Structures are given as structure tokens and as C-alpha cells.
Amino acid sequence: MKLPILLAIPLVFSLFTFAGSSHADTLADAKAIELLEKIDNLYQQENSHAVMTMEIVTADFSRSMTLESWALGLDYSLVRILEPKKEAGVSTLKREKNMWNFLPKINKVIKVPPSMMMGSWMGSDFTNDDLMREGSWVDAYDVVLSETDSLYTLDLTAKATTVTVWGAMQIVVTKDNLLPIRQTYFDEDGQAMREMRFSAIQTFGDITLPTVMELVPLNKPGNKTQVTYNSMEFDIDLESDFFTLQNLKKRR
């Protein structure tokens, strides 16, 4: 979710900024942080349950899976494959700083070591590290806000104290609904490495968000992973004791 190779979006001027105005700079900083917090929290509600389809496309093959997920803030999550039948029951559990996979064919729980964090998750373009993300972007990145007539652009640069895979990010947000349409990740050398594209806005209860996320690795032509949320519910009855190794091993 990061850049000095910027996306080709014309940045007309920074929000609320005027030359020589420290008060305007403060307003711009506050607006940037407020918008970043909104985007950061979009898919990180206090508790949630979802069913989604994940399509993985490479230059050589494509495959589709149906997944079910539960999440409690940033610290707890459980994702289980429902289909195809041959992979049903394969699951991933996150509890705070720990992560496990369950492989039903061999009836084995495997703890994911730190050395495997950048490995592919379920054969997709997402990594184990994507699921293990902790903390907020506001704490980890400095942010600069720019705008055009219809878009806000948030340029994020990792703070010196931040330990992260991505040195920078750029998030493009529409002004009319304050929802993201594109997010680019950059390595520490400023090279754009992958891009997330958001579409198909829907409302679930009181929450409106894009229901399709397409992750494209820019260094792998022909590859992409698309996640489509089929259903979502928030503020459900969910506690931390749901996220156990015993529950990880349940098939459905």
C-alpha cells in the first residue's frame, strides 16, 4: 500500500496550503492524517465476517477459491478456504504477532516463521506479511496530501523508526465518496513494485467500501490476484477466544 516513481496523476496543489502560511500547513497536515485514518480503517472494523472469491491469474494458469474470514481488529483473523473441494479446510490463523496455517490433507498445523513472511499466501500475490500487518499508517508513515479537481493523493514515506517492507506508498482517493481507487507500493529504492486497484462500491449496513480489490505485481507481467467480497457483516458477536488453534482446524 507505497514510491520516487510517482503515478501519472497531475497534482495541482496541496490541500489548504498557501505560501508562507504555517496555519494552512497545519490544516493540510490535519486533513491528510484524517483522510489516511479513514482509508486505513476501511477494512479494519472492530469485528467482521466476510465471504469472498479470490481469483489468481499468472502467465501460465488461473484458479479461483471461495474464502470465509473473521477478523477482530488488527490482532486476530481467521481465513478458511471453502472451495474448491480439494483445498477446502486449508486455513490461516493470526493471533497478535503469531501466524499458523492448517493443512487438512496431512492434518497438520504449521507455524509461519519470520523468514516466510514475504512468501506467497495461498499461492496468490498477497504475502503472509500482508496478513500480519500491525499498527496504523499514521504512526508508521509521514504523509503529504495533494489534490486535483476530483482526486486526493496521499504520498506516504516510512518514518526513520518504522520497520517495513515498503519504503513508501501512494494512495489515490476520489473526492466524491472519499474511497480509494488505487494504491501503489514502493520499495526502499523508490521502485514501484505492486498496485492495488479498488472498484465496485457497495454498502453493508452503515459501511460503504469497494468490494473488488485487484492486486497487480508490477514486476510480474500477466500476474494478478483479485478479491471480490460476496458478503460482509460488521459489529458481530466475536471475541478473541474464537481465534484458537482448535478453531483453525475446523473444516467448515
- Give per-residue pLDDT as tens, 16-65: 222 333 333 445 588 888 888 888 777 666 789 999 999 999 989 999 99
Segment 77-121, tens digit of pLDDT: 999 999 999 999 999 999 999 999 999 999 999 999 989 988 999
What pLDDT is recorded for position 8? 25
Give Cα 36 to chain centroid, integer Å.
13
What pLDDT is recorded for position 248? 97
What pLDDT is recorded for position 20? 33
> What is this structure's pTM?
0.83
What pLDDT is recorded for position 28? 56
Does residue 136 or residue 247 have the better pLDDT? 247
What pLDDT is recorded for position 137? 82
Segment 199-235, tens digit of pLDDT: 999 998 888 999 999 999 999 999 999 999 999 998 8
Q: Residue 157's pLDDT band (boundaries 50, 70, 90)?
A: very high
Segment 65-76, tens digit of pLDDT: 999 999 998 889
What pLDDT is recorded for position 13? 23
What pLDDT is recorded for position 19? 30
Is pLDDT at 4 greater than 70 in this prediction? no
Is pLDDT at 249 greater than 60 in this prediction? yes
What pLDDT is recorded for position 129? 86
Segment 158-201, tens digit of pLDDT: 998 888 889 999 999 999 999 999 999 999 999 999 999 999 99
Which domains does the chain carry? 13-65+125-247 (2.50.20.10)
